[in-house]
Structure 1
Amino acid sequence: MQIHLNSKNTYGTINPKLHGQFIEFLGSCIDDGIWVGRDSAIPNIHGLRRGVVEALKALAPPVVRWPGGCYADTYHWRDGIGAPAKRPVTFNENFGTYELDQHQFGTDEFMDFCALIGAEPWLNVNLLSGSVQEMKDWLEYCNRAQPTSLAKLRQANGHADPYNVKYVGIGNEVWGGGGFMTPQQYAMTYRKYATAMPTFKTSLFDQEKTYKIASGPDGNKPQERVRWTRDFLTALASSRQPAIDAIDLHFYNWNIDHENDTPTDFTSDDWARVIQSAHELDDVISEQEGLIAKGLANMPIPESTMDHRLDQIDLVVGEWGNWHRPAFTARPALYQQVTMRDALTTAISLNILQKHCDSVAMACVAQTVNVLNSLLLTDGDQTILTPNYDVFMLYKGHRGGHVLPLDTKTPAVETFASIKDGIITVSLSNTAINAPKSLTLTFDDTVHLITAETLNAAHVTDYNDAAHPNTVRRHPLAMKQTTSQRQTVTLPAASVTTLQFKRS
């Protein structure tokens, strides 16, 4: 089997923010996961679990979305600032969490977390139980440089400099737990929030400093997702058009209809079904691209040149990943182990997102720690890296690269390639559960192999836990260090492999 790479045939630029993360007050994602408290015996940095911080600092996720998710629509930001001992205690009913919420991890702690790991913050505002004024005040607290009362409050809480939050989500899943709104109702609500959002400009002609993200469709509902995007954009076109930068699509690779299929116990048929269903994301994104393009084409031309006409809306995928049936009844809520099956679907999903880099500007896996398709699990004082963590590390080389389209139909092999600064990064996933695959890569120029790493397991149901944290780990792949126009690679069964070549 042969794959040809033409380094001169490229398109797009892979936004590093396609490798974003999502954290929420759900189960033990934040409390007992990221946040252990300033007085904890578990090693921490100002209350943030040191193991999580160090692992994510090495990964350097470009963006982190917080505080939700469903939780965002019950969250009042003032509960999470100021003296920790004086913060209110509430009850968190979010998605089966059912725990007291001490509000020890709030805005300033989140911003510290982002700074430590090198990520930009994405704030999701409370559209359901909050208000326009609450949103305005929160952003003023975060971003105002001038000495207003809210800027002084931030300074009193230990942060003199503004956080310069750019990414702002206006509501979450408003078609469901975010309010069960119709597209028309949401369009009316969106107009108010988007219009009231502070600009933080100091001159009329300054560039816009916030990136407004609208709640997009439920990607798992084939008919509803079409109606949602179509009708929302139609409602925006019905009168003057508010500023909008992106629509936030959510899509989960559901595996909830097979009672005997669990995250760590599944058959070869279960394996094949879950891996195949991950490809639906490609179709959903293509569909949404078309709907957005049509909606923009139908935007009326304003009567005055002073009015705004929408001509560009990005797509973001604010939540994605595998969701297995047992997560619904897990304690802590939505806790889920990770095997090579999840690693392969994670690689497939990253391939799809990167392939659509011309339209998809940002994406966040759900969720980073202890929930669903996690990169990290915690147990007592231990931080465990899941196979998904290794996949994201294997894909770091694609960030900022240009896509190299690969014309290949190799059975059971998923492919993606990019080029950046003369370095060609090739990711190859072998989805065959038992059979290795040999491939020959051919190039239009002489190349030199500089790195070769693979992720695989002795058994596809293997996973990492506190007792065995390194059962499934990426490791060097033996290859000939040659300089030529042909490179042959043998992919282990059920594996994710990344190779990097430098053009001579």
Structure 2
Amino acid sequence: MSVFIDPNRRIGRIDPKLHGQFIEFLGECIDGGLWVGEDSPIENEHGYRKATLDALRALRPPLIRWPGGCYADTYHWRDGVGPDRATTFNENFATYELDPHDFGTDEFLRLCEMLGAEPWINVNMLSGSIAEMKEWMEYCNREQGTDLARERAANGHPAPYGVRYWGLGNEVWAGGGTMTPQTYMDEYRRYASAMPSFTTDLFTPTPMVAIASGPDGNKPRERVKWTEDFFRLLAEYRQPKIDGYDLHFYNWNIDDDRDTPTEFDEAGWNRVVEGCLELEDILREQWTLMNEGLALINEPEGPLDSKLDHVDLIVGEWGNWHKTAFLARPALRQQVTMRDAVTTALTLDLLQRNCDKVTMACNAQTINVLNSLILTEGERTVLTPNYDVFMMYRGHRGATALDVPRRDTESPVYVFASLGEDGRTLLVDLTNAAMYDAADIDLKFPVDVRLESMTTLAAGDPHECNTADDPDLVRAAGIPVGGDVAQSHAVTLPAASVSTLRFTVV
């Protein structure tokens, strides 16, 4: 296979927030996985599991979404602030555990501060209220000395947190209210209109970002109709504040009872790999529908009015979901093999390739749930192959995505490339999606480039995974390179592998 990579064929800037993460009170994602408490025998830093915290510090996720997910629509933020916290019962996706609320707003926002991540908070639109949303935003962001600002200071954070991203509802087409676009639009208008601006100048735009609940990406007919109806209703009369539209898509693997996260045949491997690629068609479909809907908005009637002409497309939840996760205890726990790592790499590639359409995305979920980067077992913490993929891809953040055409559509090798902010560094992703066969690829450039480094993630067997007893069985490793300067570089890729190559334009 031969691929031509031209640094001048540019798509757009890759927003680092496309590498976002999602944590929810589901199974042991937060309680036990991220948060163990200061009195725990597990090594911790102010209650955060230290091994998890160290891994996230190294990764530096640009964006973290919390508290859900479905959990957001049962969550009352006051249960999780201050010294005296409520104990409730968590039924979220069969978690079925007492919820002591030891990890709340301050713990989440301090985590984001430690990691340098932008926080995205989802408000409770199902069982909460507009007043509750407003008070939560005031608690997080008010600089002036209101009662809520003083309460935040008393809880250890005098300065405002500056939370910009707020999701108004979650999956409102199902557990978030089983709404129709009409009922959701009616509610969305009220909630969005009530958001504080946190400005002191009438003509200064608010820094707050309002994110609407988009469609179920796994329902082909419904997702089209939902977006058509939502934007038609949005165009009626005056528009509420809306900055983002949150699509969810899971790569379901639920058709074969014999297929598990670690036991699968080649047909199962191919089914999951092909399934993740569907997201690219969905993104392009939804982007077109959104812009057709925005075109329905009338022109302003007065000089003080402005016309809404853009809404960001966001993927708030994505990842592999294997059937056995439904019955797993703790809830939705599943192992991660090279099958998941390959689809994680391909998903990041397609998100980056569509950076002119998509601005933020969150892997679901970071710890112990579904497409995890981190698994914990008692006192031990394991980094999955997915963690390696995200680490290998860090160089794409803020870079410019390049349009790289595939020359051979029959090849199992997928290619993505970006040009660094320095204008000379090329980072090339090569994913060999063949389960058992190695592949040769010839990379061609219009100029001389030097191959500086190559990192490859592969396993001795595609079913292998990292466990508490063997935590480094599947790990990325550097491949020796000669540093040759040329316009063509031949590379051999192991079966079922993900590689990143770094070139410098000479």
TM bracket (short chain): over 0.9
Q: Using structure 2 for the length normalisation, give the TM-score.
A: 0.98
Counterpart of 1:488 in structure 2: which amino acid?
A
How much has 1:481 moved relative to structure 2?
Answer: 2.0
Aligned to 1:237: 235
Matching of residue 334 in structure 1 with residue 327 in structure 2: no
Runs of 4+ in 1 over 3 A off after TM superposition: none
CA distance in 2 between partners of 1:497 and 1:5 (Å):
16
How much has 1:398 moved relative to structure 2?
Answer: 0.9
CA contact (8 A) 1:20 1:362 kept: yes
Aligned to 1:28: 28
1:144 corresponds, among 117, 142, 164, to 142
Helix, strand or coil for the counterpart of 1:11?
strand
Matching of residue 72 in structure 1 with residue 59 in structure 2: no
Counterpart of 1:74 in structure 2: which amino acid?
T
1:427-475 residue CA offsets vs partner (Å, 9 max, x unmatched): 0000111111111111122111222100000001000010000010000
Counterpart of 2:334 in structure 1: which amino acid?
Q
Aligned to 2:277: 279
CA distance in 1 between partners of 2:50 and 2:203 (Å):
43
Aligned to 2:469: 467
CA distance in 2 between partners of 1:46 and 1:230 (Å):
47
CA distance in 1 between partners of 2:274 and 2:347 (Å):
11
CA distance in 2 between partners of 1:69 and 1:454 (Å):
33
Aligned to 1:10: 10
How much has 1:487 moved relative to structure 2?
Answer: 1.3
Aligned to 1:450: 452
Query: 54-63 vs 441-450, which deviates more?
Result: 441-450
1:485 corresponds, among 467, 487, 499, to 487
Aligned to 1:63: 63
How much has 1:173 moved relative to structure 2?
Answer: 0.3
User: What is the Cα-based RMSD across aligned positions, in Å?
Assistant: 0.9
CA contact (8 A) 1:327 1:333 kept: yes
1:114-167 residue CA offsets vs partner (Å, 9 max, x unmatched): 112221100000000000010000000000011111000000000011100010
Gaps of 5+ in 1: none
CA contact (8 A) 2:432 2:494 kept: yes
1:186 corresponds, among 184, 187, 190, to 184
How much has 1:409 moved relative to structure 2?
Answer: 3.8
Superposition pairs of residues 107-126 of structure 1, within 5 angstroms: 107-126=105-124
Gaps of 5+ in 2: none
Superposition pairs of residues 33-44 of structure 1, within 5 angstroms: 33-44=33-44
Counterpart of 1:345 in structure 2: which amino acid?
T
Counterpart of 1:453 in structure 2: which amino acid?
T
1:65-95 residue CA offsets vs partner (Å, 9 max, x unmatched): 0000000000000000001xx2110000001
CA contact (8 A) 1:384 1:466 kept: yes
CA contact (8 A) 1:54 1:117 kept: no
CA contact (8 A) 2:452 2:481 kept: no
CA distance in 1 between partners of 2:129 and 2:143 (Å):
23
Counterpart of 2:384 in structure 1: which amino acid?
T
CA contact (8 A) 1:241 1:308 kept: no
How much has 1:300 moved relative to structure 2?
Answer: 1.4
CA distance in 1 between partners of 2:233 and 2:146 (Å):
36
CA distance in 2 between partners of 1:131 and 1:457 (Å):
50
CA distance in 2 between partners of 1:218 and 1:306 (Å):
36
Counterpart of 2:80 in structure 1: which amino acid?
G
Helix, strand or coil for the counterpart of 1:279?
helix
Aligned to 2:248: 250
Counterpart of 1:43 in structure 2: which amino acid?
E
How much has 1:180 moved relative to structure 2?
Answer: 0.5
CA distance in 2 between partners of 1:170 and 1:254 (Å):
26
Q: Using structure 1 for the length normalisation, give the TM-score.
A: 0.99
Superposition pairs of residues 349-428 of structure 1, within 5 angstroms: 349-410=347-408, 411-420=411-420, 421=422, 422-428=424-430
CA distance in 1 between partners of 2:294 and 2:352 (Å):
23
How much has 1:202 moved relative to structure 2?
Answer: 1.3
Identity of aligned residues (%): 57
CA contact (8 A) 1:387 1:472 kept: yes
Helix, strand or coil for the counterpart of 2:252?
strand
Counterpart of 1:47 in structure 2: which amino acid?
G
1:88-108 residue CA offsets vs partner (Å, 9 max, x unmatched): 100000010000000000000
Aligned to 1:169: 167
How much has 1:305 moved relative to structure 2?
Answer: 3.0
CA contact (8 A) 1:479 1:489 kept: no
